[in-house]
Amino acid sequence: MNSKQLFLIAGLFCSIALHSVGPAPLLAEPATESRIKAAYLLNFARFVTWPEAAFDNSVAPIVLCVLGDDPIDSALPTIQYKRVQNRPLEIHHIGSLKDLPRCHMLFVGETTPSPVQQVLSALGNRPVLTVSSQPGFSSRGGMLTFIETDNKIRFEVNLSTTRTAGLAISSRLLKLARVVP
What digits encode the pLDDT tens for the residues 16-38? 223 333 333 333 455 799 999 99
Q: Is the pLDDT of residue 78 over 80?
A: yes
Beta strands in the chain (DSSP E): 48-49, 62-67, 83-84, 87-94, 105-108, 129-132, 144-149, 152-157, 168-169, 178-179
Average pLDDT score over residue span 115-132:
94
d(CA 32, CA 30): 6
CB 74 within 8 A of CB 114: no
The whole-number pLDDT of residue 19 equals 34
The whole-number pLDDT of residue 30 equals 56
Q: Is the pLDDT of residue 108 over 50?
A: yes
Average pLDDT score over residue span 161-176:
96
Kindly state the percentage of the chain with pLDDT values over 90.
71
Domain architecture of the chain: domains with CATH: 33-179 (3.40.50)
Residues linked to residue 89 through DSSP beta bridges, in sequence order: 62
Q: What is the pLDDT of the chain when averaged over all its residues?
A: 84
Alpha carbon dihedral 18, 19, 21, 26, in 10-degree steps, equals 110
Average pLDDT score over residue span 70-84:
93
The whole-number pLDDT of residue 23 equals 37
Nearest to 167 by CA among 119, 109, 103, 104: 104
Higher-confidence residue of 114 and 43: namely 43
How many residues does this entry show for the chain? 181
The whole-number pLDDT of residue 131 equals 97
The whole-number pLDDT of residue 1 equals 52
> Which residues, other chains included, contact 24 with Cβ-Cβ below 8 Å and sequence gap of 6+?
none
Average pLDDT score over residue span 82-98:
92
Higher-confidence residue of 62 and 11: namely 62
The helix/strand/coil state of 148 is: strand
d(CA 3, CA 115): 75
